[in-house]
Amino acid sequence: MIQRDLSVLWHPCTQMKDHETLPLIPIRRGEGVWLEDFEGKRYIDAVSSWWVNLFGHANPRINAAVREQLDLLEHVILAGFSHEPVVELSERLIELTPPNLTRCFYADNGSAAVEVALKMSFHYWRNRGQPQKTKFVTLQDSYHGETLGALAVGDVALYKETYAPLLMQAFTAPSPAGCYANDGESYAEYARRQFEAMAALLEKHADELAAVIVEPLLQCAGGMRMYHPIYLSLLREACDQYNVHLIADEIAVGFGRTGTMFACEQAKISADFLCLSKGLTGGYLPLSVVLTTEEVYQAFYDDYIKLNAFLHSHSYTGNPLACRAALATLDIFAQDNVIENNRKLAQVMGDVTRPLRDHPHVGEVRQQGMVVAIEMVKDKATRQSYPWQERRGLRVYRYALEKGALLRPLGNVIYFMPPYVITPEQIQLLAEIALGGIEVATDD
């Protein structure tokens, strides 16, 4: 199986030559938090299969919903046609999100949703007679996907730098993330201080700005960096003041990941565009959605010959099977008291990883709801990081696999972002494995 794979596949986000020494792991089945390979070895999926899985693999309730839909309708074009799952899902998403969001536009992956939000924002200003508003502001360390538009408004050098000649220019505001704060400075103080640069950018460039795009509270791919909600409150006010849209990319943080259903709730704000994907279908099928306001929708609503319509589409837009999986996922949220239960699990995640703070090669242990990140450093006192070439995180990855956990670090940052069906005992086991892995990875 491994040989067959390596002779025909090209894997995502992978230097394929690594597989000369790093074994590829074919998975035969999944159940709950567990993935099982062909030898019967099991791994706890501590990264929710790239942050998508919420309620475990082969979840009986989501399985049943998808199976039922399969016999009715697998797919239909969404232009000119409609279907029950997409209407019901839109109604429920509008119900769950702030009152200003009244319209759902679908795509089939997170990057595509970001492209939709960027294009819609630009196009809104154009339809409203302000075609000079063409630029976007992003945050340092942000990540919004890999397609060219999404990459252009991201700031992770590893993914972006190579393609710089192909990308539109965005303004980058300095990070609000508390991991950069001075000793003794709180996350809130640092966020306020860092907001001054954002405010200055908005004031100076308001005339040419379409939107600011952010990952609310938690910048995932940029190293699981967390910031205080005050930054979002200030940003919402300033966007209103300067007539600039706010795009909330909750593709990774939506659906309970940060402790509330949506991260923006913690700042009591609403965006003009809300991008959702990943956990939307419980990790079953590719689907994404951009929610926006009636104001935006109305700017496109006109006679056809004015050519103001949003002529954007993807083949699998609003796929019925994916929408059914999403509806089953929302049912679980509604029936199982998930947010409340996650609060207890998050408490356990915090408790079991607290001792790691004292480790001589751990710079910071940070947590936002159902995500804990542990940053390995070369020098604890100065926070000096290990050179990336040493690939210390990869050592943790290998160690964890041996011990039965899928922990896929981001550089030197080890993190847990497990499905919500994980148990306190399994969280304890993950902490032990992480500690062992960090010991092995930092002992020279």
Please give the residue ranges that form the binding site for ligand PLP (CB under 6 A). 109-111, 114, 143-145, 215, 220-221, 249, 251-252, 277
CB 104 within 8 A of CB 94: yes
**Which residues fall within 8 angstroms of residue 180, CB to CB, at 6 or more apart?**
190
Provide the 10 A C-beta neighbour count for residue 117: 32
* CB 221 to ligand PLP: min, Å: 6
Cβ-based nearer residue to ligand PLP, 173 or 431 = 173
Q: Which residues fall within 8 angstroms of residue 190, CB to CB, at 6 or more apart?
A: 176, 178, 180, 181, 182, 227, 228
Number of other CB atoms surrounding residue 140 within 10 Å:
18
Q: What order do you get walking across the sheet with 413-416 strand by strand?
A: 362-368, 371-376, 413-416
CA–CA gap between residue 192 and residue 253 (Å, rounded)? 22
Q: Which is nearer to ligand PLP, 249 or 441 (CB)?
A: 249
Measured CA to CA, the distance from residue 163 to residue 417 in angstroms comes to 29
Q: Closest separation between CB of residue 143 and ligand PLP, Å?
A: 5
Q: From the CB of 318, what's the least distance to ligand PLP, in Å?
A: 16
Q: Would you say 112 or 234 has its CB closer to ligand PLP? A: 112
Least separation in angstroms between residue 375's CB and ligand PLP is 19
Smallest gap from residue 430 Cβ to ligand PLP (A): 21
Q: Nearer Cβ to ligand PLP, position 172 or 426?
A: 172
Nearer to ligand PLP, 277 or 412 (CB): 277
For residue 429, the minimal CB distance to ligand PLP (Å) is 26
As measured in angstroms, the least distance from the Cβ of 150 to ligand PLP is: 6
The residue (of 277 and 367) whose beta carbon lies closer to ligand PLP is 277
| Shortest separation between residue 254's beta carbon and ligand PLP, angstroms | 9
Q: Which residue is nearest to ligand PLP (CB)?
A: 110
Give whichever of 109 and 342 is closer to ligand PLP, judged by the CB atom.
109
Find the shortest distance in angstroms from Cβ 368 to ligand PLP: 13
With respect to ligand PLP, which residue has the nearer C-beta, 114 or 299?
A: 114
> Minimum distance from CB of 285 to ligand PLP (Å)?
12
In this complex, which beta carbon is closest to ligand PLP, that of residue 220 or of residue 430? 220
Question: Cβ of residue 422: shortest distance to ligand PLP, in angstroms?
Answer: 20
Q: Which is nearer to ligand PLP, 69 or 109 (CB)?
A: 109
Q: Judged by CB, which is closer to ligand PLP: 133, or 144?
A: 144
Alpha carbons 353 and 361: distance in angstroms, whole number: 14
The edge-to-edge listing of strands for the beta sheet with 34-37 is: 27-31, 34-37, 42-45, 405-406
Q: How far apart are CA 81 and CA 89, in angstroms?
A: 16
